[in-house]
Structure 1
Amino acid sequence: MTTALPEDSWLLRIQPQPARVTAAEYEALPEEIARAIEIVDGYVVFCEAPTPDHQTAGRRLANLLERHARRAMARGHGCLTVNNDVDLRLRDIPLLNRSPDVILYRCLDRAAGERLRAEHALLVIEIVSPGSETQDTTDKLGEYARAGIAHYWIARLDNDGVTSIERYALDRATLLYKHLGTFMKDEAGGAPEVTNPIPITIDWDDLLF
């Protein structure tokens, strides 16, 4: 049995996107519009405004990475940059453009207008929000892996700050991520450390709100 929708139903007002967005069209968008959307397979995905806790966590994680990136550069790792919510081009056709919460990448040639692409990225971090569980743990997990990004972390929060970090490393033979383990804030044993993509010590106090 089929039930007709009321004439004022919001479902009847939904209009399908008429055509896929191309890379050229995306690059021509005003910055304030581009920052509010992501493009997945050419289709616009609107990004919800992050909560204050989400923004704070992103800033704390970026500060942590930047401190270790500077140390890595001093030891000969080359030029590294850390950013929040910056455009990351994963694919041109169909266009796939994401804005990771935090990203560590090799420095770009800004004078030449070089665009941030997957081959520059060393580590991407996404912070799970109530409405982003599927995107962060399934969709982006597959997209970042297929794009060849070597390391992916998923951070989770509570009212006090970052509580856990799931770590994934790329298997280049299959272009799938392997789960390396999960750091938990309350685990015994001191601040956890990683050596790749650069040496990083996770000091949980630095990730408090």
Structure 2
Amino acid sequence: MATTSPADSWLRGLRPQFAPITQEDYEALPEAISMAIEIVDGYAAYRAAPTPDHQTASRRLANVLERHARAAMSKGHECVTVNTDVDLRLRDLPLLNRRPDIALYRCLDRERGERLRAEHALLVIEIVSPGSETQDTTDKLGEYAKAGIPHYWIVRLDLTGVSIIERYRLDRATTLYKHVGTFMKDERSETPKVSNPIPIVIDWTELMF
């Protein structure tokens, strides 16, 4: 007979939620639960488990970013780090907590137990999956911009791996993202390169399944 885990029981009780989740509530949750949800305007939103292709693309793209981050730091850039599926606090009240697929951010003070917040993030990346189109291209586009994160990439996959990278840069005057270009996997195109937030060269072969 199948057993029900505490996480399953908790997740089944997400609807209806009679009161918003506070910072204290969220931080008291077991990791198995916090990793399975995001908090939007104080209410929990279930995150479907990523597909194997999604996980592979996220890991490989994060590896590319990390390599370039280390190269940038060796040339004097401030300390930065890269993580996947990382807990990112965008707002305290009402609580807004997202878990972007990939984030490049300023190194945190571990001794002080510093939490990753929007002001630390330099670039966040979301990989579009079936069912996440609206969240990634509309909801999070607005949330990350309003939180002041300088760069946002939306990544799309095909059967062979990462195929499209849409790049957005924050216009601080309007607190909106401006589309600054789209990289498309095409053997006839030049190798994609960016200079901000750090110098990055995209080798499509590294992002193939």
- The Cα of 1:175 is off from its aligned counterpart by 0.3
User: What residue in structure 2 maps to residue 121 of structure 1?
Assistant: 121
Change (3 A) 1:177 1:131: same
Partner deviation per Cα, 1:33-72 (whole Å, 9 max, x = no partner): 1000000000000000000000000001100000000000
User: What residue in structure 2 maps to residue 153 of structure 1?
Assistant: 153
Partner deviation per Cα, 1:94-143 (whole Å, 9 max, x = no partner): 00000000000000001110000000000000000011000000000000
Amino acid at match of 2:41: D
Amino acid at match of 2:62: A
User: What residue in structure 1 maps to residue 71 of structure 2?
Assistant: 71
| SS of aligned partner of 2:61 | helix
CA distance in structure 2 between the partners assigned to 1:155 and 1:191 by the alignment:
17
- The Cα of 1:188 is off from its aligned counterpart by 2.4
Amino acid at match of 2:179: H
User: What residue in structure 2 maps to residue 170 of structure 1?
Assistant: 170
User: What residue in structure 1 maps to residue 40 of structure 2?
Assistant: 40
2:14/2:44 contact within 8 Å kept: no
User: What residue in structure 2 maps to residue 27 of structure 1?
Assistant: 27
Q: 1:68-107 residue pairs with structure 2 within 5 A?
A: 68-107=68-107
List structure 1 runs of 4+ shifted beyond 3 angstroms. none
Percent of residue pairs identical: 74
User: What residue in structure 2 maps to residue 183 of structure 1?
Assistant: 183
- The Cα of 1:207 is off from its aligned counterpart by 0.4
- The Cα of 1:189 is off from its aligned counterpart by 3.1
User: What residue in structure 1 maps to residue 194 of structure 2?
Assistant: 194
- The Cα of 1:16 is off from its aligned counterpart by 1.6
For structure 1, list consecutive stretches of 5 or more residues without a partner in the other structure: 1-12
For structure 2, list consecutive stretches of 5 or more residues without a partner in the other structure: 1-12
Please identify the structure whose Cα radius of gyration is greater.
Answer: 1
User: What residue in structure 2 maps to residue 110 of structure 1?
Assistant: 110
- The Cα of 1:21 is off from its aligned counterpart by 0.2
CA distance in structure 2 between the partners assigned to 1:187 and 1:205 by the alignment:
10
CA distance in structure 2 between the partners assigned to 1:14 and 1:100 by the alignment:
21
Amino acid at match of 2:122: L
Change (3 A) 1:204 1:20: same
CA RMSD in angstroms comes to: 1.2
CA distance in structure 2 between the partners assigned to 1:199 and 1:14 by the alignment:
42
Aligned residues: 197
TM-score, normalising length from structure 1?
Answer: 0.92
| SS of aligned partner of 2:100 | coil
- The Cα of 1:82 is off from its aligned counterpart by 0.2
- The Cα of 1:190 is off from its aligned counterpart by 2.5
Amino acid at match of 1:77: H
Amino acid at match of 1:73: M
